[in-house]
Amino acid sequence: MKENKTWSSHILLCPALQFHWPIRQLDISNAFLHGVLEEEVYMAQPQGFINSQFPHHVCKLKKALYGLKQAPRAWYSTFFSFLISQGFHNSHSNSLLFIKKSQSCITVLLIYVDDILLTGSDSSIIANLVHNMHEVFSMKELGPVSYFLGVFVQHHASGFFLSQHKYASDLLVKAGMVNCKPCVTYVALKPSFSPGDTLSFTQLELYRSVVGALLYLTITRPDLSFAVNQACQHIHSPTVAHFAVVKKILKYVKGTLAHGLTFNPGPFTLHAYTDSNWSAKKQPTVSRSSTEAEYRSMVNTAAELCWLQQLLADLSISLSSVPLLWCDNISTMSLASNPIFHSRSKHIEIDCHFIRERVAFMKIDLRYIPTTDQLTGLFTKALTSSRFHYLTNKL
């Protein structure tokens, strides 16, 4: 789990769904042109507007233009100042999330460049904010959220369904795989190689473009995470075999275009699953045992839980219970709960042991889960077809 803007939009859907808040989508027209420059930036006189008396003079820019490296920061600074003047404050967990609270209501705004999601408990306050934004910016109202950052948000009787059907279809066109034969899974436990598979794949731009697009597709398709992670590790020098694996992923996508994430109302509880398999990532540290590797993975998951708790606190959402952290390694759970293991773990960095403090003060509840039910196995290892579909359905 990583902090990204689309992930934050997923979280924003939860309170809106639970408390029946309206979610409005806005789009700022020519956003970068609203940014006021703080630096001195000069440009040549544009063709057709050259001053005949001073043809060699240059123009000093007061506002940003598209193409300037200062433009995104200038636009964000301008919009930030506007929101502060409207009584909003910046979330500590996400710099693009803004919150306005009073004793009886809350208003939440998420911005990504020029795309905005706006929700809250009081429709009149939202309408007043939109009116004030029209006074300052050129803006389009897109109605209830339906398509945000390439993700379709479909409203149904009990909640939302998020999918990237169009994005995935366009990716198949881009890769020339529209008419490919769909397959039920994408990872072979024992991949077979022919002598020609070790040859370098010459179309580097195609490989990188397709893999990058697949990476974005994992926003609503977490079942693709492991295979896309493996493909990313060969992005600098792919071989023919590596591209064959990418094509198999695309065949799986072709057969599962309708897949996505369903959001339904429910209690605000956090359940996290932790597992370690160093084949799924580059190993930044040397672990002396599988227990230590699992322990480090547990620490990282605990840190993500802390971030999520802070984000929910910013939204004035209190959890109904202590977050549950599920692990399939009993030795790791003992290490996190019992300091008597210190003699065997004294070489582990001190910051890794902060999870002991959170367990001791009952801020995290550790629970054991059998490996057969460990959801993270879907993200860390190659699986049989039956096992893959079993875990995918559990998502």
Q: What is the DSSP string of 11-70?
A: HHHHHHHHHT--EEEEEETTGGGGPBPSS--EEEPPTT---SS-TT-EEEPSB--TT-TT
Q: What pLDDT, in 10s, does the model give residues 322-346?
A: 888 888 888 777 777 776 555 556 6
pLDDT of residue 57: 92
Q: 261-263 and 324-327: which strand pairing?
A: unpaired
pLDDT higher than 80, residue 20: yes
Is the domain of 287 the same as that of 198?
Answer: no
pLDDT of residue 226: 87
pLDDT higher than 60, residue 97: yes
Q: What is the DSSP string of 111-142?
A: EETTEEEEEES-HHHHHHHHHHHHHHS-EEEE
Which residue, of 149, 173, 202, is where some domain finishes?
149
**Residue 260 maps to a domain:** no
Confidence of residue 3 (pLDDT cuts 50, 70, 90): very low
Mean pLDDT, the chain, as a whole number?
Answer: 83
Separation of alpha carbons 261 and 221, rounded Å:
8
Which residue, of 212, 229, 255, is where some domain finishes?
255
Mean pLDDT of 201-227: 91
Is the domain of 320 the same as that of 222?
Answer: no
pLDDT of residue 250: 93
**Residue 179 maps to a domain:** yes
Separation of alpha carbons 395 and 389, rounded Å:
10
In a 13 Å sphere around the CA of 371, the CA atoms on its Cβ side amount to: 8
262 against 339, higher pLDDT: 262
Q: What pLDDT, in 10s, does the model give residues 112-166?
A: 888 999 999 999 999 999 999 999 999 999 999 888 888 899 888 888 899 999 9
**Residue 261 maps to a domain:** no
Is the domain of 318 the same as that of 389?
Answer: yes
Which residue, of 195, 225, 255, is where some domain finishes?
255
pLDDT of residue 80: 93
**Residue 313 maps to a domain:** yes
Is the domain of 301 the same as that of 200?
Answer: no
- Choose the most confident range, by mean pLDDT, from 188-202, 240-254, 307-321: 240-254
Is the domain of 271 the same as that of 249?
Answer: no
Which residue's structure tokens are 């043809």?
Answer: 55
Q: Which of 15-19, 39-43, 222-226, 376-380 has the lowest mean pLDDT?
A: 376-380
Q: Nearest Cα to 263, choosing from 316, 220, 213, 292?
A: 220
Is the domain of 238 the same as that of 275?
Answer: no
pLDDT of residue 191: 57
Q: Nearest Cα to 34, choosing from 126, 117, 136, 124?
A: 136
pLDDT of residue 279: 56
pLDDT higher than 50, residue 2: no
Residues 6+ away with beta carbon under 8 Å from 248: 183, 186, 187, 188
Is the domain of 300 the same as that of 245?
Answer: no
pLDDT higher than 90, residue 251: yes
Is the domain of 10 the same as that of 144?
Answer: yes
Q: What pLDDT, in 10s, does the model give residues 66-88?
A: 888 889 999 999 999 999 999 99
**Residue 158 maps to a domain:** no
**Residue 159 maps to a domain:** no
Share of the chain above pLDDT 90, in %: 26
Is the domain of 133 the same as that of 196?
Answer: no
Q: Which amino acid is at 15?
A: P
Is the domain of 243 the same as that of 270?
Answer: no
Is the domain of 173 the same as that of 145?
Answer: no
pLDDT higher than 60, residue 258: yes
Per the structure, the complete domain to which residue 74 belongs is given by 5-149
Is the domain of 139 the same as that of 221?
Answer: no
Q: 139-144 and 115-120: which strand pairing?
A: unpaired
**Residue 245 maps to a domain:** yes
Phi, psi of 176, rounded to the nearest 5 degrees: 70, 35
**Residue 183 maps to a domain:** yes
Number of domains the chain contains: 3
Q: Nearest Cα to 121, choosing from 96, 138, 98, 104?
A: 104
